[in-house]
Structure 1
Amino acid sequence: MSLSFRDHYVAVIGANGVGLSRCDALGRKWLGSAGFIADRQGTPTLALDTLQRLLGEHVKGRARLTVLLSSHYSRFGLIPWSEHIHTPDELQAYASAVFEDTFGKSPEPWALSLSPESAGMPRIAVGLPQALLTQLREMVKARSLRLVSVQPYLMSAFNRFQKSFGNRDFLFVVAEPGRSTLLLAREGRWSAVRSLRIADSDAALGSMIARESELHGLNGDKPVDLFVHAPARHHDAPQILGVQTLELPSGESDIQDPLHIMAAAVN
């Protein structure tokens, strides 16, 4: 790897703010965050303007950049297996059709990526606004940075906690402020993915988990392990009966910014 790209920065784009940390041989250092007043249509532009400002303040010279996106910017869908799909282009067209059927036809294009699965298995698809991705890549290129990846926070958190799930059936809930997203795996395959606007209080989370358990028949003879990760509640972790709370380590315990906690999902 070129030494000119030795420094690695992790940006977290949240619903109402952007945070930035730096990773190097000495560890991870939180550089700070900046908020913005979000509205439904202008949020991606405000978020990228805020990221631009943070990068200008803290990043000097060439570096690598990983960007984590809140679930507020993402769409998730379960793509069933089809024996009629034979090429990557056919798979993309099929996933786009499933998304359109689920979310309706969108005036703005969405970029879809799918989880790699074995033949016969359903896939998780993630949709991100194409305009946001294009503007982000242009910004990064203009600053001579290398964009390592753009990941929904749900995927980063799942990868970080994957060992906790083992080979068991599980329901994993990522409770960001104002939106919770869940992944359900049964018998070694994806069974559901769903994103909802709810508070991340114990009462709201408990009710949601109970509803989803009833909907998917999780209270039967084959129990499913339940997990919740709430990055904004590092000092007030959820306490829900029968649900295990998963937390990321905070290297700088005096910092309570949830974007700081979310950045720790990147190893």
Structure 2
Amino acid sequence: MSLSWLDRHTLLVHPRHIVLDRKPWRGPAQRFTAEVPPAQPDEADWQPALAAATALLATKASTFGRLKIVIANQFVRFAVLPWSDSVLGDKARLGMAKALLRNSLGEQAEHLSLALDRPAFGLNGLAAGIPGGLLAALRQMVKSRRLRLDSLQPRLTSNLASCRLSVGDGCVVFPDDGWLTLLGLCNGNITLLRNHRTHAEPEQLGAELQGLLAAEDAAVDRKKVHIFSRDAWPKTLGDWEIEQQMSRLEGGAHA
């Protein structure tokens, strides 16, 4: 009798590569990767990644296993929900998130499926918008493979859960293939969020990040940066202390 339903998988959906970590119920963990071609002019930017993820799951995932999906920050749009005692409850917070994203993105916001973090009294919240077409296609992919979906969340949310208690005050940074995500925390409260394309070359990214931190240092009380990156970073950037962390889906050999 097969016990493949005990296998656990984690899938990273990224615009340049797909990573599938598989932990069989018995035996060593395995890692599989696939490159993602550039999107064609008539395609949404996420469609090539979806096709590559579907093909990788079809050949490397266990039927009936459990699956966690992590979506790269490039495919997600975020908004900080300012705390207000007049905006309570899921409906009111969702309305605020829609208004904030519509203000910053225009019509693009209408095509996003929104998820909100769990509210905490007196603290700002975080909303994440994932393209509705991508979300629906991922769910259909999971269903067709007869996998059990444990979670589906942005990389920012996934990694932040693993370090938020230890960060408390300072910044969390994700430099990722021409994209930069920056989150500022003050006593555990979100005070700053940037999620945008960067044109800096890898060797110049430190200078760009240092400039961005200098411009935003009033948003945090402690000049400490937790960087999730597989590249080498110095111990400091100007007055900022650097602590480098490795995402579980970064690094590793191709299988």
Regarding TM over 0.5, the answer is yes
Query: Aligned-pair distance for 1:27?
Result: 7.2
Structure 2 unaligned blocks of 5 or more: none
Whole-Å Cα distance in 2 between the matches of residues 123 and 252 of structure 1?
Answer: 27
Q: Secondary structure at the match of 1:106?
A: helix
The amino acid across from 1:118 in the alignment is A
Q: Mean Cα displacement is larger for which, 107-116 or 145-154? A: 107-116
Aligned to 1:238: 233
Distance 1:91 1:191, change over 3 A: same
Whole-Å Cα distance in 2 between the matches of residues 128 and 105 of structure 1?
Answer: 14
Structure 1 unaligned blocks of 5 or more: 261-267
Deviation track 1:166-192 (CA, whole Å, cap 9, x = no partner) reads x4x211111111111011011331101
Q: Secondary structure at the match of 2:108?
A: coil
Whole-Å Cα distance in 2 between the matches of residues 94 and 227 of structure 1?
Answer: 29
Aligned to 1:264: none
Aligned to 1:118: 120
Whole-Å Cα distance in 1 between the matches of residues 163 and 4 of structure 2?
Answer: 31
Aligned to 1:101: 103
Kept in 1, the 8 Å contact 2:80–2:124? The answer is: yes
Q: Secondary structure at the match of 1:154?
A: helix
Whole-Å Cα distance in 2 between the matches of residues 155 and 140 of structure 1?
Answer: 21
Aligned to 2:78: 76
Kept in 2, the 8 Å contact 1:202–1:238? The answer is: no
Whole-Å Cα distance in 2 between the matches of residues 102 and 175 of structure 1?
Answer: 22
Distance 1:202 1:227, change over 3 A: farther
Distance 1:64 1:9, change over 3 A: same
Number of corresponding residues = 247
Query: Aligned-pair distance for 1:46?
Result: 1.5
Distance 1:42 1:194, change over 3 A: same
Distance 1:86 1:73, change over 3 A: same
Deviation track 1:12-50 (CA, whole Å, cap 9, x = no partner) reads 111112111102455762332111222374332221111
Query: Aligned-pair distance for 1:89?
Result: 1.4
Deviation track 1:44-88 (CA, whole Å, cap 9, x = no partner) reads 222111111111111242111111111110111111122322432
Deviation track 1:235-254 (CA, whole Å, cap 9, x = no partner) reads xx112433323232879986
The alignment-based identity, stated in percent, is 23
Whole-Å Cα distance in 1 between the matches of residues 36 and 250 of structure 2?
Answer: 24
Whole-Å Cα distance in 1 between the matches of residues 109 and 172 of structure 2?
Answer: 31
Kept in 2, the 8 Å contact 1:200–1:230? The answer is: no
Deviation track 1:185-243 (CA, whole Å, cap 9, x = no partner) reads 11331101111212472532332233233234269xx4432222213x2xxx1124333
1:227 and 2:226 correspond? yes
The amino acid across from 1:197 in the alignment is R
